[in-house]
Structure 1
Amino acid sequence: MRNALVRRTVLAASAVSLALLATACGSDKADTKADAKPSEAAATSAAPAAKAKTSAELAGVIVVQADLPTHVVKAPTDAETAAAAGAKSDKPECQPLVSAQSMNPVGTAAGTAGTRAVAKGKEPAADASPEEKLKAGLDALGGTTTSVYLASYEGKGAAEAFASVKTAGTACAGGYTGSQAGDSLKITKVAPGAAVTAGDEALAYTVTGDADGETITMELVVVRKGNTLATFSALSLTGVAEQPKAVVDAQVKKLG
């Protein structure tokens, strides 16, 4: 792996910002309301919208270390959060994708919270050789890093934000360039990610980018639960990230 790729990958991970990614298609959960009885559907639509959660309330339901023993969980620093806030797309129609992967709210949110989870490597045996211990250490460095971001909205804001990501995925299927803090990444290919069934509706994407001639593959999962949107952006120093299923499951469970 060339030094340029390592530099860009470390920058993205340390800033908890995978904003330089794009996506095309996703997979939605089936619309359960279609099977509901008319009276049930009417009752659901007539129910008052839940009040948006504040940032303090979201901080109480975002995943922490105890929720993910197979990961190292650590919140981003203020400097990292500030750096991520400047993530932009060269195409306005792709901005919802950039926001979803850069720990920024899609649209206007009432409350937000973010953290990151790094998958732990397999511990070497007690009697492992120095070479085996070195390999285990290198494998650990290549573990998938997932940025987790929660945004809560008033009214139909969460559903509208989710829809805007989905629309942007279609509009930006041909790729775009994302930039942040003077760095940029060109997206070369987008494809559906492994199907995700979580929350009220979910999307999953696999994104391929070109970093100075090196190919990197990243994952994005977007889940809406009520009036909260949860985004999961995954990147690995190896250049090939895994979909963060354990992180998604743990976070959605905490959202109730």
Structure 2
Amino acid sequence: MRSTLVRRTVLTASAVSLALLATACGSDKADDKKTDAKPSAAASAPAAAAAKAKTNAELAGVIVTQADLPNHLVKEATPAEAAAAAGAKSDKPQCQPLVSVQSMNPVGTAAGTARTKAVAKPKEPAADAGPEEKAKAAMGALAGTVTSVTLASYEGQGAQEAFAAVKTAGTACAGGYTGSQGGDGLKITKVAPGASVTAGDEALAYTVTGDADGETMTMELVAVRKGNTVATFSALSLAGTAEQPKAVVDAQVKKLG
């Protein structure tokens, strides 16, 4: 059986997927630089104001929702889930940024945060499908990739520093580390560059390989900085191999403006 640390996120979002299924059965890098404007005293004032971090409420207004991802099921993270995630730790301090991304925590000290989860909608069985087809569809829902999305906004240069910390951790922790949360542990055996992501002001991606109770599994981690906000994505699946959540990343970056 897979580690509780792994199952906790997957099952919460998959439950939403199964609920919908049951109902149905019954019935290029953005270029943000302005090269044509000359700096002036008037222009520098708005730039300074832009460094002001977004609040929790402001981030809640720009995090992806069901309307942004029609082909996914989106469920906002609960306060209890956020509180539980806050205890996630790494056995190696230099790897803490990666554990934070995995567990829906901001990297470093953020002024505002928002969290949600998205799972791709399973293929619905035909209206006249038999019990076997419905069961197969249900299993497909559980095996879908679940993506945890965290937005964190920072004062001053905090966003750049948080992004840099994730980047540094990806190199320093290539050989692995162990993450723990609420008494559960997950051994990571390898961190490698993931499929290239071009988004926001800067972006990176890692494929993280773990050992979950003797079974090999992979997670896809993505971090994108847009101004003073860092969006992080952690994708995993009970099937063992997650897909990079490109649709979720694209939708979130677009919503950040």
Q: Give the structure-2-normalised TM-score.
A: 0.85
Q: What is the CA–CA distance in structure 2 between the aligned matches of 1:60 and 1:203, rounded to whole Å?
A: 24
Q: What is the CA–CA distance in structure 2 between the aligned matches of 1:97 and 1:220, rounded to whole Å?
A: 8
The answer to whether the aligner puts 1:231 opposite 2:211 as a matched pair is no
Cα offset, 1:9, TM superposition:
3.1
- The aligned counterpart of 1:242 is 243
Partner deviation per Cα, 1:72-105 (whole Å, 9 max, x = no partner)? 1111222211110000000011111111221111
Letter in 1 for 2:224: V
Greater relative CO (CA pairs within 8 A, separation 6+):
1
| Of 3, 6, 9, the match for 1:9 | 6
- The aligned counterpart of 1:59 is 60
> Which deviates more, 70-79 or 88-97?
70-79
Partner deviation per Cα, 1:149-181 (whole Å, 9 max, x = no partner)? 000011111011100110111111111000000
- Percent identity among equivalent residues? 77
Check conservation: 1:14, 1:80, Cα contact below 8 A. no
Letter in 2 for 1:239: G
- The aligned counterpart of 1:21 is none
Q: 1:173 to 1:31 in 2, by over 3 A?
A: farther
The answer to whether the aligner puts 1:159 opposite 2:160 as a matched pair is yes
Check conservation: 1:71, 1:119, Cα contact below 8 A. yes
Letter in 1 for 2:74: V
Partner deviation per Cα, 1:171-194 (whole Å, 9 max, x = no partner)? 111110000000001111222111
- The aligned counterpart of 2:222 is 221
Map 1:1-256 onto structure 2 (within 5 A).
4-5=1-2, 7-13=4-10, 47-48=47-48, 50=50, 51-256=52-257
Q: 1:121 to 1:178 in 2, by over 3 A?
A: same
Check conservation: 2:194, 2:220, Cα contact below 8 A. yes
Aligned-CA RMSD value: 2.6
Q: 1:7 to 1:54 in 2, by over 3 A?
A: closer
Gaps of 5+ in 2: 14-28
Report the number of matched residues.
Answer: 240
Partner deviation per Cα, 1:28-63 (whole Å, 9 max, x = no partner)? x69987x968967xx999942512111110001111
Check conservation: 1:146, 1:232, Cα contact below 8 A. yes
Counterpart secondary structure, 1:215: strand
Cα offset, 1:212, TM superposition:
1.4
Q: What is the CA–CA distance in structure 2 between the aligned matches of 1:238 and 1:174, rounded to whole Å?
A: 24
Q: Give the structure-1-normalised TM-score.
A: 0.85
- The aligned counterpart of 1:26 is none
Q: What is the CA–CA distance in structure 1 between the aligned matches of 2:217 and 2:162, rounded to whole Å?
A: 27
